[in-house]
């Protein structure tokens, strides 16, 4: 099974030179820099950003399987 979390981290890290410290991801009325997004995704603990990506990956898998 594809490791989407690993792939998304690779994709995001390639964008750090351009977007690293700029507001990048918007969630409700919060914004996260790209570096914050990467840090949250790497975090072993549960957090809002990781939860969003994990839920999105689950839906994406379902759509690809359709």
Q: For residues 44 and 66, which CB has a smaller minimum distance to other proteins in the complex? A: 66
Q: Interface residues for other proteins in 1-30 (CB under 8 A)? A: 4, 7-8, 11-12, 14-15, 19, 22-29
Measured between alpha carbons, how far is 15 from 51 in angstroms, rounded to an integer?
21
DSSP 11-64: HHHHTHHHHTTSEEEEETTEEEEHHHHHHHHH-SS--HHHHHHHHHHHHHHHHH
Is there binding between residue 66 and other proteins (CB under 8 A)? yes
Q: Which spans of this chain sit near other proteins (rule: CB under 8 A)?
A: 4, 7-8, 11-12, 14-15, 19, 22-29, 31, 52-53, 55-60, 63-64, 66
């Amino acid at each position: 099974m594809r490791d989407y979390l690993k792939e998304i981290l690779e994709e995001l890290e390639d964008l750090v030179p351009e977007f690293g410290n700029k507001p990048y991801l918007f969630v409700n009325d919060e914004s996260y820099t790209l570096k914050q997004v990467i840090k949250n995704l790497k975090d072993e603990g549960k957090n809002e950003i990781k939860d969003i990506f994990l839920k999105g990956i689950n839906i994406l898998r379902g759509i690809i399987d359709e």
